[in-house]
Amino acid sequence: MNPTKFIIFISVLFLSRMQLTGQESAGNAHDFSLKDIHGKVVSLDQMLGKKLTVLVFWSTWEKDSGKFLSKFESDFRKYSDKGLSVIGVCSEEQNITDSKLQEIRDFVSVNKLSFYNLIDNNLQVFRLYDVEALPTTFLIDRYKKILFVLRGAPLVGTDRLFRTISAAFEPEEKKPEIRQITSESPEALRYSNFAELEFKRGKIDAAQKYAVQAIKLDSTFTQPLLLLARLSLEEKNYTELENNFRKLKKCPGDSNQVILLRYEYLIVQKKYNEAIEKLNSFISKNKNDSFSHALLGYAFGMEKNTGLSEQEFSIAAKLDSTDYRIPKLKAEVYNFNGKSKEANELLRRSRQLRKIAP
């Protein structure tokens, strides 16, 4: 790819991202020239940032202006050398007297604003941009396309605005959606926790009963569904397991545990090489997940790669010495390799951890 094409590609990527995150796209920014607070005339073209421009209309009479502008100042300091420009347009009133001008200068000085601050005498730019309330903020790209408009300083919109600015300079991976705590969920949560507790104690029937109760209250609750899937796996009821996997697909939230259960299922199906490949990739992103190391140790063990198997089990045990599943998996590997004495010792340890009487 030649450099020009690459730049176009990156710009398109950037623009598409911005448009997605922006609340509103409102055409192109109008050109204007205004005097800054020291009387120097500047135009939009002169002030436009290489990557992104914030155009914020403000006034000293607006109650949150100081706080709001200070946030832009903080971003301006962080990203100005990466291509962020901030333009404050003071739309104080129609006729700015000398004493009013001094008041505005004082406001800028008290709030330590180092970005452009312009005086919109006669409210011409205010009218040009069809502003009705202050503050009003526009995000403009390097091609003067308006990407985002925010009226006032609302709670969510302000958060979205500043996240959009930082995302332009510090792209981060989108975090998964988290289930909202609704008024129904505490009851489901309670049953789910009972189910987990009973499962830990080895009281499988009780665990199953509570998990089903939790799902009745909240059909997209990952934790009890995951528990039922685990029980199906342990009972070798693979039809039910597949059914539970299907239900889990509809659940929101962190899915690492679901992913690992799928890999465990691969191992049960003796698809060791596929499991090793997937687990290695999983571990590269989740280094501190003890059970994934144990599963990898198991898969290596079944492939007769004793060295790597021991290594992975050792990492797993170091990361979590309380998980009963780790010694249980290791015991199965030892049994497979004819080390029944060591395997029995590990099974005893596993039972102890799960609080089942020997």
Partner 1 sequence: MKYRFLVLLLVVFNHGYFAQDKEQTSCMSAKCHASMADVKYLHGPFAVKECNACHVPIKDQKHKFEEIKKPSDLCMNCHEPLQMKKVVHGPLKTGSCTACHSPHGSNQQFMLKKSQLSEMCMSCHKKEMFDRKNVHPPVMDGDCTVCHEPHSSDNEKLLVKAGNSLCYTCHTDFESGFANSKFIHKPASEKCTNCHDVHSSDFESMTLKETKELCYKCHAQIKQTVADAASKHSAVDEGKKCANCHSPHFSDVPKLLKKEPLDLCVSCHNDQLTTRNASLTNFSLLLQNNKDWHGPIQEKDCSGCHGVHGGKTDFRLLNKSYPNEFYTSYAKQKYELCFGCHQPTLAQDSITATLTNFRDGDKNLHFLHVNKRVKGRTCRACHETHASKREKHIREAVPFGKWQLPVNFEKNKDGGKCTPGCHAPKEYKRTLPHLD
Please report, as ranges, the residues that interact with partner 1 according to CB under 8 A.
59, 61-63, 91, 93-94, 122-124, 126-127, 132-134, 150-152, 154-159, 175-182, 186, 189, 192-194, 196-197, 200, 222-223, 253-254, 257, 322, 355, 357
The nearest distance, CB 320 to partner 1, in angstroms, is: 9
The nearest distance, CB 237 to partner 1, in angstroms, is: 23
The nearest distance, CB 127 to partner 1, in angstroms, is: 4
The nearest distance, CB 227 to partner 1, in angstroms, is: 10
Of the pair 75, 276, the CB lying nearest partner 1 is at: 75
Angle 306-319/290-302 helices, nearest 10 degrees? 160
Of the pair 42, 123, the CB lying nearest partner 1 is at: 123
Of the pair 92, 301, the CB lying nearest partner 1 is at: 92
Contacts of 58 (CB under 8 A, 6+ apart): 65, 68, 69, 88, 89, 90, 91, 134, 135
Nearest to 135 by CA among 40, 21, 54: 54
Nearest to 238 by CA among 269, 210, 212: 269
The nearest distance, CB 46 to partner 1, in angstroms, is: 23
Angle at 302 between CA 294 and CA 228, to 5 degrees: 55
Of the pair 27, 176, the CB lying nearest partner 1 is at: 176
Pairing of strands 116-119, 52-58: unpaired
Of the pair 104, 276, the CB lying nearest partner 1 is at: 104
Long-range contacts of 124-131 (CB under 8 A, 24+ apart): 124/32, 125/30, 125/32, 125/34, 125/57, 125/89, 125/91, 126/57, 126/89, 126/91, 128/30, 128/32, 129/30, 129/55, 129/57, 131/57, 131/91
The nearest distance, CB 70 to partner 1, in angstroms, is: 17
Of the pair 49, 135, the CB lying nearest partner 1 is at: 135
Q: Please report, for residues 21, 28, 86, the alpha-carbon distance to residue 43 in angstroms, rounded to integers and kept in the order given.
A: 28, 15, 13
